[in-house]
Structure 1
C-alpha cells in the first residue's frame, strides 16, 4: 500500500475520531499510528456496546416495573369499581375475590371478616381446606393484626396449602379481618408485587367497610333520634296540658328529662266530688324502660281515680299492680296529695318519695310526709295517710331527687338547704314563676356539669 493511501486512511480515522493530529512522515510510523488509532476506536466501540447493553437491561427493568405498576393499578381500579357500585361491601365480596384471583392467579381466595362478635368468611370455593384455615386465622392471625405472611411449602399453615398469602384489612388501628390467597397457579411463589396488590385491595376494602358501617350507624342514630322524638311527644302528651286555676289555689309543674324521655311523672286530676288529686312520681332508671313504666302507672292511676275513697288504700292497690307487672329491679317512688279546696284540707300519702316542702306565709318551712315504701317492692305493703290543715298563703312544693341531687362541676350537690333558701326568697311569685326559677337556679348551679337525673317540680299555692 503506498504512502498516499495510508495518508488517506489516517485522515479518515482522524475525522471519525473527531480530532486532528499531524501524520508522521515515515511510512512505518504512519502505519503504526493508523494501528493505534484503530485499537482506540475498537476499545471505544466495545465500551459503547457495553453501555448500550446496560441501557437495554435498565429499560427492560423499567418496562417490567411499569408493567407491574400497571397491573397493580388495574387491579386496584377493578376492585374500587366493584366496591363503589355496591353500597353494602359485604354483598360485593364474591366479585371482589374474583377480581383478585384474576390479578393474582390462585387456586382459591377468601375474605375473613370480624364484625362485632360475628365472624364472616366468604370464599370462592367451598374447599375443605377453609375449615382448618379459618381456625388458624382465628387462633394465630388475629393476635397480631399487622402481620403479613408470605409462606412457602415448608411454612404451610394448613396441610394441602403449598404457598400462602395473607394481609390484614385495616383502617387505622381497627382490624376488620383478613384477605387470604393460597396455592398460586403453576406452583409459583407469591411475590412482593402480589403482596402489594393485595395490600392495596385490603386498604380499599377497609375504607368501604368503614364508610358503610359509619353510614349505617348514622342512619340508625337518626332513626333512633326520630323514634325518641316521637316517644318524647307521646310522653309529653301524657302529662297535663293545662292546670286548674280557681279561687282556692293555683298549680304549675314542669319536667326536664335527662334524655329524650324520662321516668318522672306528675299529674293533677279533678275528682268527681270536687277534690283534686296531685301526684309526683319518680320511676327507677332512665330512658325508654322508665318511660314505659311511667306510662303504665299513669294509665292505672287515671282509670282508678274515679273510684278513689281512701288515699292510703288507693296507693296500696297501685302498689299491687306495679309489684305484679314490673321486674324485680324496678320500683317507683310517689307522693300523692288530695286537696279539699273549700275546706283547705290536705290528705297526704307517701310511697318512699321526698317530703313535700310546706312554705308558710311567714317564711317558716316544714317538710311533711308519711310512712310508706316505694311501689313495686313488696306486694302487701301498707301506706299511711295523713291530714293537714292549710291556710291562705301556704305554698306546697313537690319535686324529684333530680333537683336536690344535681351536681356542679366540682361534684357538690344542690341539696335541700339550697332549695329551701331559694323558696323563701321566691315565695311571693306565682306558681309558674316559682317552678321556672327553681329549675333555672339548679341549672345555673350545675353550670357545665351533665344532668344525671330527670328534674321535675310542682308548686301549689293556696289562696
Structure 2
C-alpha cells in the first residue's frame, strides 16, 4: 500500500493521478458502506429494523386509492412495527375514514401545539397544569388509554393526528420510536393529501362530463330557430350565467295556427335543474297536443312536481297563448317575474301572478287572464336573471330599468331590443 501511494504521487501526469484516485474511491466506497451497515445492524438494530419497516410501509401504500384503506394500513403498520395498542389515527380533511370524534377547538393548547408540529404526551396534564383541554377530549383520551398524540403534517398543513396507547411491552417510547412514527405520519399525511387531490380531480372530471351532457340536452330543448308567428314579431334568447342553468323558454305553434310561449325558471342550477326543465318542456308539449286550454294541464303539472320532487325544488312559470285570428292574448303566471306590457298608447302594465309557484302546494287553481293585444304593443317576458344582472357598481338592473329600456326602444324589433 505504501509503495502504491508513493509511486502514485511520483507520477507527473495529473490525468493518471485523477483516474487512480477515482479507482481507489470506487474500490473503497462499497467497503465503507458495508462497514456502516454492519455498525448499524450490530450496535443500532432498532434503527435498522425501523428503516427497513418504513421502506416496506412506503411501498405498501404507494398503490392505495382509498383513504379508508390507507388509514387501515397505517394503523396496522404502527401496531405491528412498534407494538402499540391502541392506534387511532384522526383525519381532519374530508376523508371517509378516521374522522374526529369531537370538535376541534383552536383555543385548546394541545391542539395549538399539534398544529405547530409538536407531539404531545398526555401525562403532562395534571391538576396544576396550565394546559387547557376540552373536557370531551380528556374523556376520550382516558376512555381509549391514549398516551401520546403525534401530528400528521404535510406541506405545513395539519392533515390529522396519530393517537397512540402505550407500548405492549410497557417500555417508554424511545427516540427511535418517535422518529419513525413522525416519519410515517408525515408520509401518511402526504398520501392522504394526494388522495384527496385525486378525488377532487376525479369528481371534477365526472361533474364536467355530466354538465356537458346536461348542457347538450338543454341546448336541444331551446328553440333552435325562432319560428314565424302570424301577427307577432317574436324573438327569444337564453344567456345562462352557469354552464347549465334552470331557465327555459319555448315557442310552440299548434296545428290550429295558435302560438304558445312559455318561460320558466327551475330552482337551483346545474344538471339537476336542467333535468327538471326537460321534464317540464315535455309535459307542456304533450299537454298542448291534447288541449289548448292550458289551465287544466298546468294544474296537473303542479301536482306532478309537488309529488315527485323535494321541497326545495320548484318552478316559476309564465305561459301565454296568442290567437292571430282574433288578436286575443291569454296567460297564466305561476309565481314568475311579472312580464312588462307597454300598449299602443304607451301605458305600462305588469302581468302579475295568477297562481302559486309550481310545486309548492298541491291542487292549486291557476286563473287564466284574457285580453286583446292591440297592434304596436310590446311585451317583455324574462327570468329573474335579467332583473338581478349587476353593473360594475354592483347595482341590480331591476324592473324599473327594464321598463325604461322598453319605453325608449319600443319602436325597435324584438331582436334589436334584446340585443341592446
- TM-score of the aligned structures, taking structure 2 as reference length: 0.70
**What is the alpha-carbon distance in structure 2 between the residues aligned to residue 371 and residue 234 of structure 1?**
29
1:403 corresponds to 2:380: no
1:384 corresponds to 2:361: no
**What is the alpha-carbon distance in structure 2 between the residues aligned to residue 431 and residue 331 of structure 1?**
29
Closer, same or farther: CA 92–419 of 1 in aligned 2, 3 Å: closer
1:84 corresponds to 2:68: no
Secondary structure (helix, strand or coil) at the match of 1:241 reads coil
Secondary structure (helix, strand or coil) at the match of 1:350 reads strand
Structure 2 gap ranges (5+): 1-35, 127-140
**What is the alpha-carbon distance in structure 2 between the residues aligned to residue 385 and residue 432 of structure 1?**
26
Closer, same or farther: CA 322–96 of 1 in aligned 2, 3 Å: closer
Q: CA deviation at 1:383?
A: 0.7
Secondary structure (helix, strand or coil) at the match of 2:237 reads strand
State the match for 1:242 in structure 2.
Answer: 225
**What is the alpha-carbon distance in structure 2 between the residues aligned to residue 109 and residue 320 of structure 1?**
56
1:314-365 CA distances to partner (integer Å, 9 max, x unpaired)? 5444444444444445443222221122443322332232333234567x25
Q: CA deviation at 1:88?
A: 4.0
Closer, same or farther: CA 251–305 of 1 in aligned 2, 3 Å: same
The question of whether the paired residues in 2 share the 8 Å contact of 1:350 and 1:385 is answered with: no
Q: CA deviation at 1:310?
A: 3.2
The question of whether the paired residues in 1 share the 8 Å contact of 2:389 and 2:397 is answered with: yes
The question of whether the paired residues in 1 share the 8 Å contact of 2:247 and 2:383 is answered with: yes
Q: CA deviation at 1:288?
A: 4.0
Q: Which stretch of structure 1 is more off in the superposition, 242-251 or 140-149?
A: 140-149
1:276-296 CA distances to partner (integer Å, 9 max, x unpaired)? 011112233333443333233
State the match for 2:328 in structure 1.
Answer: 345
The question of whether the paired residues in 2 share the 8 Å contact of 1:365 and 1:420 is answered with: no
Aligned length: 354
Structure 1 gap ranges (5+): 1-59, 122-136, 438-463
Q: CA deviation at 1:195?
A: 0.7
**What is the alpha-carbon distance in structure 2 between the residues aligned to residue 88 and residue 82 of structure 1?**
13
Comparing both structures, which one devotes a greater share of its residues to strand?
A: 1
**What is the alpha-carbon distance in structure 2 between the residues aligned to residue 165 and residue 355 of structure 1?**
65
State the match for 1:356 in structure 2.
Answer: 339
**What is the alpha-carbon distance in structure 1 between the residues aligned to residue 61 and residue 300 of structure 2?**
62
Closer, same or farther: CA 431–321 of 1 in aligned 2, 3 Å: same
The question of whether the paired residues in 1 share the 8 Å contact of 2:211 and 2:270 is answered with: no
State the match for 2:119 in structure 1.
Answer: 148
Q: Which has the higher contact order (CA 8 A, sep 6+)?
A: 1
State the match for 2:132 in structure 1.
Answer: none
**What is the alpha-carbon distance in structure 1 between the residues aligned to residue 77 and residue 311 of structure 2?**
57
**What is the alpha-carbon distance in structure 1 between the residues aligned to residue 63 and residue 95 of structure 2?**
27
**What is the alpha-carbon distance in structure 2 between the residues aligned to residue 389 and residue 244 of structure 1?**
19
**What is the alpha-carbon distance in structure 1 between the residues aligned to residue 403 and residue 297 of structure 2?**
30
How much is the aligned-residue C-alpha RMSD, in angstroms?
A: 3.9
Q: CA deviation at 1:220?
A: 0.8
The question of whether the paired residues in 1 share the 8 Å contact of 2:266 and 2:273 is answered with: yes
Secondary structure (helix, strand or coil) at the match of 1:254 reads coil
CA radius of gyration, larger in: 1
**What is the alpha-carbon distance in structure 2 between the residues aligned to residue 148 and residue 282 of structure 1?**
55
State the match for 1:436 in structure 2.
Answer: 419
**What is the alpha-carbon distance in structure 1 between the residues aligned to residue 292 and residue 143 of structure 2?**
83
The question of whether the paired residues in 2 share the 8 Å contact of 1:244 and 1:250 is answered with: no
1:276 corresponds to 2:259: yes
The question of whether the paired residues in 2 share the 8 Å contact of 1:370 and 1:386 is answered with: no
Secondary structure (helix, strand or coil) at the match of 1:231 reads helix
1:298 to 277, 281, 285: 281
- TM-score of the aligned structures, taking structure 1 as reference length: 0.64
